[in-house]
Structure 1
Amino acid sequence: MKNAKHTDDRTKVPEILLLIITGMIFGNITYKGAPLIELPEAFLAAIAMVALAMIVFDSTTRLRIKEFDTFSGQALKLMIISVIFNLTIVTIAAHYLLKIPISLSILFAGIISGTSPDVILPISEHIKKIKTTALLKLESIFNTPLTIIIPIMVIDIIGEVQTKIITGIVDQIVPFVMKFIVGIGSGVFIGLILFKIMQKAYKEIYSPLAVIIAALLTYVLAENLGGSGVIAVTSLGLFFGNVYVKEKLTVLKIESVFTKALFVLIFMLTGVIIKIPLKKTFFISGAALLAIYYLTRFTAIEISMRKLTMKERIYTTLNAPKGIATAAIVFALSTFQMQGMGIVLDMVLAFILTTIIISSIITWLTPWFNETNNT
C-alpha cells in the first residue's frame, strides 16, 4: 500500500508546468502565417497591474510579526544571504554569459531570487513531513515581495537615470526616495480606511470584495501620486496582516481564490507570450547560470543553516522552484520595450521550467530521502 502511494505521487505533475506548456503550445499555433493568439498591450498591462497588486498583497498578509520565532529568523537569514549572493554573483555571471548590461543583470538576478515550494507541495504528501519544508515555505513568504520589488526598483532606476554621470544619479535620489515615501503613505492610508470599514461594517459578501478593491486602489493611487504601487500594496498587506480584523481569515481565504484565478491566467499567458529560443548558445548559457545559481544557494544554506545534514542541504538547495511572483513580474516586463529585455525574460522562463522540473524530481525522491535520512 505504501509503495502504491509512492507510485501515485510520482505520476503527478505540477500544475504550473502544465499551464506553461499549454500556453507555449497555444502561443506557437499559427493561422495564415500569423500567431493564432495575439494579445493587445493594453490588455497585458492591465492584467499585469492586477496580478502584481494581488500577489504582493496576498504574500505580505502572511507576514505575521507576532508569529515570528527562531525558525522564522533562520528562514529570514537564509533569504537575505541568498538575495545578496544572487545580486552579486549571479548578476556578474549573467552580465558575462548573456552579454547584457549590469542593470539588466541585476534585474535577472532579482527575478530569480524568489522561491515557491507551494508549486510542488500538491504532488506529494511525503514532502510535508520533512522539517526543511517549513523552512522552504517561510523563505518563500519572505522573498516573494522582494521578487517583485527588486525588479520594479531596477526598472524605475533605468527609466529615471538619463545620464551616467554622478550628478545625474544624485538628481534622481530624491524622486526615488519619494517613490518609497508616497508608496508607504498610500498603503497605510488605504489600510486605515479598510481597517475602519471592516471593524464597523463587516458584510459576508461585500467585505472580501472591499479587500480586493482596496489592494487595486492602493496600487493605482500610489502610481498616480508618483509613488511605487508595489511598495504601497506591500505596506497595505503588512498593515492588514498584522492588525485584528473581524473575520479576517475568511476574507483572506476568498481573496486567495481570486489570486488563484490570476495564478492560472498568468502562467498560461506567460507561456503564450515568451518564446524560448532553441539555440545551442542559449542552452549552454542557461545551464551555466543554473549551476551558478544552485551553487550560490547551497553556499547561502551552508552559512545560514549549519545544523542541517548534508542531505537536507542538498534537498533544500535543489527544492527552489519559481512560482507565481516570478511569472507575474515576467508577464509585467513583457510590455517593456528595452534592448536586452527579451533575452532576460526568455532565460527567466527557462529557469521557471527547469527549477520546477528539478524540484519535482527531488520531491518524487522524498520517500527515499526520508528513509536514508532516518538511518
Structure 2
Amino acid sequence: MEVAIADETIKQNLEQFLIVLTVSLSVATISRLFSWLRRIPYTLLLVIVGLGLAFVNVRLVHLSPELILEIFLPPLLFEAAWNIRWRDLKDSLLPVGFFAVLGVIISIVGVAFPVSQFTGLSLPVALLLGASLSATDPVSVVALFRELGAGKRLTTIMEGESLFNDGVAVVAFLLLVGIPMGVSEFSVPATISRFGIFVGLGAGVGCLVGYGISYLTQRFDFPLVEQSLTLVSAYGTYLIVEELGGSGVIGVVTVGLILGNFGSRIGMNPRTRLIVSEFWEFLGFFVNSIVFLLIGDQINFSSIGKNFDLILISIASVVLTRAIVIYGLGNFSNLFGGTPLNWRQLTVLWWGGLRGGVSIALALSVPVVLQGRQEIIDAVFGVVLFTLLVQGLTTQFFLKKLDLVGDQPQRQEYSEFLARRTALNRVLDYLENIERSPEIDPEFYRYQQHLVRGEIKSVAEKISSLQSKNPQLRSLDLEQLREELVDIEADTYAEYIRAGRLNHNLSPLLEGILDQAIEKAIEENHIAV
C-alpha cells in the first residue's frame, strides 16, 4: 500500500514538472513569435499565465514554505554569481557595496515604517515585508541594457548590486522571521553579531568548497562531471552552511563567484566552460519560470481587494526608498574617488530596480502559521507586478531620453564580422596546410580555397564599411585583442598550475598595462577622427 502511494506521488510530481516546463516553454515561444509581445518582460507574461491558471483553479506546484528557499534560491544565486565577471565588478565595488549593504537596511526600514503606520500590519511583520522587497531582480533590465548598449559599467553595477543585495536581503529576512513569531527578540548588538556569524560561516565554507572544486577539476577533463560538480556545489554549500548555522545564500554566492571567475579558468577548458554556462542559463530560466508562475498560482483574488491599500503604500515606499538609496548612496560613493556616477546613470539605476524572483521566493517561504503571511504575499505580488509592468516597460524610454543608448546593434554586427573573418582565415589555413588525400581531386581543394578567399574579401569589405560609418568601432578591435592577450596569459598560468609548477593562480600582469594602452589608443583615435 505504501509503495503504491509513493509511486503515485512520484507520478504526480513528474506530471507537475512536465506541465510547468511545457507552460514555461510555451510562454517563451509565443513571446518570440509575436513582435508586440517581445516588448513585455517574459517574467511578466509568466505571472499573467499563473494568474489565469489560478483564476480557473488550476494549481501547478504544491510546495511547503520550508522547501521554497532550499529549492529555488541556490540555482538563482549561483547562476547570477557564475556569470558576473570579477574583472569588471572590482572597479565598481564601492557603489555596489553601498547599495547592497546600506541600501538593504534603508530599504527594509523605509518600507516597514510607512506600512506599519498606515496599515493594520504590525511592525515585526512589516519589517519582514521590507526584507522581502529589498531584494532587487533586474534580469529584464540588464538584458535591455545589453541590447541597447547602455554601457558596461552601468550593467555591471546593476548586476553586482542585485547579486550581493539578494544575499544580504535573505540574511536580513532570516534574522527577522523569528520576531513576529515570538521565537526571537530584536536587539542591535545581537543582530549584528548574528549577521557576522551568518556571513562569516557562509563566506568561509563557500571559499573552501569553491577552491576545493576548482583544484579538483584540474585533475580531469570530463565536462558532464564538472557540470554536475557545479550543481552539487550550489545545493551542497547551501545545505552545509545552513546546517552549521550560517547563511547558505552567502555561501552559494561565494562559490558561484569563485567557480565562475577562478575555477572555470584554471580547471575547465573553453568547451567545458561553455557547456556549464549553457546548463546554468537553462536552469536559471527554468527556476525563474517556476517562481513567477508560482506567484500568480498562489494569489488569493479575494484578499487582493482587501489589501489594495497595503499594495499601494508598499509600491510608493519601495519607489521612494529606492530613490533615497540610489541618489543618496550613489553621490556618497562619488566622494571616495573612482569613476563617478552621473545623475543620468543614477536615474536609470533608480528606475531599473525591479523586484522579482528572490522577493517572491522569500514571500512564499513565510511560515504558514504566521499571521499576516497572505498580506505579505499580496503586497509582494503588487510590487513585483508594478515594477515589471510599469518600470520594466518604461526603462527603455528612460534610457533614450537620458541619452544612455549606445551603439550595441552596430557593435554586435561588427563583432560577428570579426569572428567570421577569423573563422574563415582558420579554414583557409587548414585547406592550405592539410595533408591532401589522393582520392580527392586537387582542383577541388583549389576551388574551396577560392570560395573561402572570396568570402574573406566580402567580409573585409563589410568590416571596412562599418568602420567608415562608425569610426568608434575601431576601439572594439583593441578591446578584443586585450581580452585575448589577458586570456592567453591567464590560461598559461592555469597550465602551470595543472602541471604542478605553480601552487596558486597569478593575477594577469598585462591587465592594467593593456587597459592604459587601449585608453591612450582610443583617445588618439578619437582625436584623429
> Smaller-chain TM-score range?
0.7 to 0.9
What's 1:26 paired with? Answer: 53
| Alpha-carbon displacement from aligned partner over 1:84-130 (angstroms, at most 9, x marks no partner) | 32122222112223332333222221221222332245568764335
1:341 aligned onto 2:373 = yes
Change (3 A) 1:316 1:222: closer
Go from structure 1 to structure 2 and tell me whether the alpha carbon gap of 1:175 and 1:146 turns closer, same or farther (over 3 Å shift): closer
Query: Bigger CA drift: 361-370 or 138-147?
Result: 361-370
Aligned-pair CA distance for 1:289? 2.7
Choose which of 229, 250, 275 in structure 1 pairs with 2:248. 229
Match of 1:201?
220
Tell me which of 281, 290, 293 is aligned to 1:265: 290
Higher relative contact order (CA 8 A, sep 6+): 1
Partner of 2:349: 316
The alignment status of 1:284 with 2:284, answered yes or no, reads: no
Instruction: Give the counterpart letter for 2:169 in structure 1.
Output: T
SS at match of 2:307: helix
Q: 1:286-313, CA deviations, whole angstroms, 9 ceiling, x for partnerless residues?
A: 2233223222222222223346665554
Listed as ranges, the matches of 1:163-312 within 5 Å are 182-245=201-264, 246-247=267-268, 249-250=273-274, 251-275=276-300, 277=302, 282-306=307-331, 312=345
Partner of 2:416: none
Instruction: State the shift of 1:213 in Å.
Output: 1.6
Q: Aligned pair in 2 of structure 1 residues 138, 88: CA closer, same or farther (>3 Å)?
A: same
Please say if residues 322 and 353 of structure 2, whose CA atoms lie closer than 8 Å, have aligned partners that are also in contact: no
Question: 287-296 or 233-242: which moved more?
Answer: 233-242
Aligned residue type for 1:258: L
List runs of 5+ in structure 2 lacking aligned partners: 1-34, 332-339, 407-529
Q: CA 1:226/1:92 → structure 2, altered by over 3 Å: closer, same or farther?
A: same
CA contact (8 A) 2:202 2:251 kept: yes
Deviation for aligned residue 1:220: 2.4
Deviation of residue 351 (structure 1)? 0.6
Cα distance in 1 for residues equivalent to 2:109 and 2:273 = 39
Give the 3 Å change call, closer, same or farther, for CA 74–9 of structure 1 in structure 2.
Answer: farther
- Give the 3-state SS of the residue equivalent to 1:49 in structure 2: helix
Query: Aligned ranges for residues 85-96 of structure 1 at < 5 Å?
Result: 85-96=106-117
146-155 or 187-196, which deviates more: 187-196
* CA distance 1:302–1:214, change in 2 (3 Å): closer
One-letter code of the match for 2:116? Answer: H
Q: Following the alignment from structure 1 to structure 2, what is the Cα–Cα distance between the partners of residues 219 and 175? A: 17
Distance change >3 Å, CA 127–CA 285, structure 1 → 2: farther
Provide the identity percentage: 19
- Does structure 2 retain, via aligned residues, the 8 Å contact 1:124–1:363? no
Q: Which amino acid aligns with 1:144?
A: D
Q: 1:15 Cα shift?
A: 0.5
Task: State the TM-score, normalized to the length of structure 2.
Answer: 0.58
AA aligned to 1:275 is: N
Provide the C-alpha distance between the structure 2 equivalents of 1:310 and 1:178, rounded to a whole number of angstroms. 37
Larger Rg: 2
Contact 2:314 2:383 in 1 (8 A): no
